[in-house]
Amino acid sequence: MDKILEGLVSSSHPLPLKRVIVRRVVESAETPLSQAQCRAMFALSTRLVLQGPDPFQRQVGRQVLEAYGRYHRAEFEAFFNRGLVLGLLQRGYGELSNRDPAILDYIQAGLRLIMSCPSVLELFELLQVEALRLVCERPAPPLCARLCQLLGDFPQCLPRGRKLSLAFCQQLVRSIAHFQSQGNREAELRLYVSQVTQVSGLLQSVWKAEPDTLLPSLQELFAVISAADTSFEPSVALASLVQHIPLQMITVLIRSLTTDPNVKDASMTQALCRMIDWLSWPLAQHVETWVIALLKGLAAVQKFTILIDVTLLKIELVFNRLWFPLVRPGALAVLSHMLLSFQHSPEAFHLIVPHVVGLVHSFKRDGLPSSTAFLMQLTELIHCMMYHYSGFPELYEPILEAVKDMPKPTEEKIKMILSQSAWTSQSSSLPSCLSRLSGKSETGKTGLINLGNTCYMNSVIQALFMATDFRRHVLSLNLNGCNSLMRKLQHLFAFLAHTQREAYAPRIFFEASRPPWFTPRSQQDCSEYLRFLLDRLHEEERTLKALSSAKTAESLVNEESQAQESVHKAQVFAEAACMGSEERTLIEKMFGGKLKTTICCLNCKSMSQKEEVFTDLSLAFCPPTSLENVGPKCVERSEVKDDCMVQINASATSLAGETPLNSLEVNGGCDTMNEGTIKDFSTEPNSESTTNSELHKVQDNTDVSQRLVGKNTLSVTDLLNYFLAPEILSGDNKYYCEKCASLQNAEKTMQIIEEPEYLILTLLRFSYDPKCHIRRKILDNVSLPLVLELPVKRATSPLAVVSGGWSVGVEISDIGENLAKKLKPSGADEVTCPQLVPYTLSSVVVHSGVSSESGHYYSYARNVTGSGPSGLCHQSTALSLVSPQDKLLTEESPCTVVENELDTEMPREWFLFNDSRVTFTSFQSVQKITSRFPKDTAYVLFYKRQNSTCGFNTNSANGLWVNGDPPLQKDLMDAITKDNKLYLQHCQLHVPCAPRNSPSCSCFFSCCYKKALFSTFQCGLL
């Protein structure tokens, strides 16, 4: 029969005839045959299967072998023995190599036929050994896939015993690392991917059956991808293993890798780079999850050098993966994390900028819903990066043009994304032996380090920084080559906005801005510092503008004679100084307002008027009884002695002549302090230094403070009303009227005729008590409205006024005048109704303590730009502040209005700046601070004008900075980038390591791993 069959298959008869004859040969397998005949048929069919020259002969061999083996099982068992199988696996068959997959096909077919025979057990033992030998020889993908298919169908052939099983898994991992595709055509690539999937599927089965093999396999995987051998590049097919690792093991595995002292930085860098290469594998799942987890783990242990190197090396490769739909989701996730966390330098972002426009256009041409969704995610990412690294319009303009029709994230969303993504924002979930990161807080804001009782400066700087329009103006100035105080402020603002540090040390700015009379390392008055700072910035800018104008004018007269040149120079400088004084400085534009003071003689009704510029209004505390009947304040020198309670800053302000830079502030009289509520401050958590003597002095006057028990809480509205109320000059304080040529009773009124962009209000809480010869603090609680309306009476016609000079602060009255308690209606005011200008509360500087020479300052603030109808607040709840003669008191109490405002407050809008510490807070905390901590009182308030038309033009540079700060100058950006790198390197060098005598990370990992893996399999997650 074997001779007939052999002649038939090799004959030239038609194929259909051959098939008919072969069918009859197969059917004859049921007839009894001798052992020799069976052996001949098995040998012929084996030769046809393994060496058949065409598919027909190989098919005939398989059919005959299966049929005769089934009906003559004993004979086939004797033929298909250990010697045959071993010879096939080690020597092959004739010219057929032992590494041909057909050998394994034949063995698998033979095993199916003898599964019920006792000899199969011997073959299983043989195959267990041979399978391990085969994988150690690094089989090609086809042979390895065929071996894994055989082992999957016959798991009895898998190496048994922990040692052999571990070795098999580890060697199979290394075999996958050597895989390479045999072609580049689609069919060849699909076949290659299916072969790799077959191999990785077998490993998954082994890990599931024997969980103890997973850890050594992963260790072997890491050893392969972390090897520094440049002659061998592991295959990206290793990515197929990632999807079979339980996601529940991420924390344990990443912790083991990042904390193992035996893992060198070079090895970790190599491993991470190769894991990122795995994003190219089309069917790999969860690769991006593991890559991002490892990036976060390295950030948590402050391995910033690795993160920087890997990001710069692989960012373009990751971006290029976005072109391929199969791997696009994972690539976009990794790209977003790498860019958003790389916040110390624009270098990584700028590597992909040239490729963005082309990818955007490609997504748009696709028109597919998936492409549109990815385009929206990519657009949001790009906007975040352009916001963070402003200052490169030539790079960003093409991108903005390409994505102009895509939705743009809000500034709040961008800031939230950036603050949560930075390396220094990654929270560490490592063992307690590792410290938490000292990066920025969750607010994304930077604190200021206290340099020794410098909280008065820190609180003021943070309030100015949070004045958004002012900050943007400062950052937009071109001050290259200038060593001015404004340049130092710009430097400080830039670092507060872009540093990776948790807190910044403003040493250079402190030394440059500290008033000469301030003793170093001692507490000072923050309002005094603020006035000095604004005055310095104002005068400095005026001087620089005058010098610049003088140089320009001087260049026009170079051809004049030498004799006339010196005279002309003097004239040029004088004219330039005048021109400079007429042009408004930045401080005037942001904080400058105008106040008109009018004195009307009550005898002849003649008036004297003066306009003066102010940057802040100092508000004295008024007796509550004076608010019940609003009218003029009577000041009689006969009632009060000259040495009454006076808060002194500098010299007096007169109605005629030059106004000094620092003006005098007069308190509301002796009764004001005496009636102020003095509270018990036995516990104060925020005080820097409060002496026992001061506390004793406050307690001695507690009986005086009881007069206001039960009185309503004052509000900023009350204090402003009192400030604007007219006062009568009489008695020893009579006014000298030039028309009457004698001292006459007169009425003095003050009106705001030009409102500032930022209204700064200082509450005069520190007063000198002549009885006790000490400066006391008025501890009354003051209600703060979120929105107020300031009455502004604009001049309708030119007034004959005596022009005053620049005044940093405007006081309530002149020197020697005291606020009297006799009130009566005024008949000298204009009848025109003032325009009500709405303002929104921006910042509050709080003083904690009982004395200006001690205590502590901190500030509450929020971002208010003044854009839109009401900024961040609701105008419908505004408090009306109008002059007394225009019914300035509202019927609704400030407290009620504030409660209404609290309902509309945006969450996480307010920040608390307390030196190095910055936290989220709420307006309720601002309002209730004094009730909770009696010594903590609002001192300096910043209000931002709503509906502003002179704020910073954020539409500059063709709309590049609509939501963000203006672009920084190159030298500033370079300085910040350099400092961020130094900070990250410092963090990495000083990260604490686990003790050398502690258990090894491998042991620690094994324990955690086994517990977690056991629970994973218990839940059937694998």
Supply 254's token pair: 């990443």
Between CA 421 and CA 339 the distance in angstroms is 9
Supply 232's token pair: 């061998």
Element (H, E) at 913: strand 910-914
Between CA 951 and CA 953 the distance in angstroms is 6
Tell which residue, 696, 848, 707, has the closest CA to residue 772. Answer: 696
Show Cβ contacts of residue 807 under 8 Å, excluding neighbours closer than 6 positions. Answer: 612, 613, 614, 615, 653, 659, 660, 661, 663
The answer to whether residues 873 and 901 touch, using CB atoms and an 8 Å cutoff, is: yes
578 is catalytic: no
Helices vs strands, H then E, count in the chain: 37, 26
Strands 616-619 vs 758-763: parallel, antiparallel or unpaired: parallel
CA 383 to chain centre: 14
Show Cβ contacts of residue 884 under 8 Å, excluding neighbours closer than 6 positions. Answer: 630, 631, 721, 724, 725, 726, 826
* Rg of the chain, C-alpha, whole Å: 43
856 is catalytic: yes
Element (H, E) at 74: helix 73-79
DSSP 158: S
Tally Cβ neighbours within 10 Å of residue 237: 25
The answer to whether residues 840 and 864 touch, using CB atoms and an 8 Å cutoff, is: yes
Which of 526, 856, 873, 987 is an active site residue?
Answer: 856
Give Cα separations from 511 to 309, 457, 726, 740, 808 (angstroms).
38, 11, 42, 53, 21
Question: What's the 3-state SS for 789-827?
Answer: EEEECCCCCCCCCEEEEECCEECCCCCCCCCCCCECCCC
Alpha helices in 137-185 (DSSP H): 141-153, 162-177
Tally Cβ neighbours within 10 Å of residue 979: 17
The answer to whether residues 817 and 666 touch, using CB atoms and an 8 Å cutoff, is: yes
Amino acid at site 972 = L
| φ/ψ (deg, to 5) at 894 | -60, -40
The answer to whether residues 451 and 922 touch, using CB atoms and an 8 Å cutoff, is: no
Supply 654's token pair: 């007169």
Between CA 673 and CA 936 the distance in angstroms is 17
| φ/ψ (deg, to 5) at 610 | -150, 135
Show Cβ contacts of residue 475 under 8 Å, excluding neighbours closer than 6 positions. Answer: 490, 493, 494, 497, 965, 966, 968
Dihedral (Cα; 831, 836, 837, 841), 10-degree rounding: 130
Which of 38, 157, 169, 455 is an active site residue?
Answer: 455
Question: What's the 3-state SS for 389-445?
Answer: CCCCHHHHHHHHHHCCCCCCCCHHHHHHHHHHHCHHHCCCCCCCCCCCCCECCCCCC
The answer to whether residues 9 and 18 touch, using CB atoms and an 8 Å cutoff, is: yes
Dihedral (Cα; 861, 419, 409, 395), 10-degree rounding: 110
Please give the span between the terminal C-alpha atoms of the chain, in angstroms, as a whole number: 52
Q: What share of the chain is helix, strand, coil (3-state, %, to 5)?
A: 50, 15, 35
Between CA 504 and CA 447 the distance in angstroms is 6
- Active-site positions read 455, 856
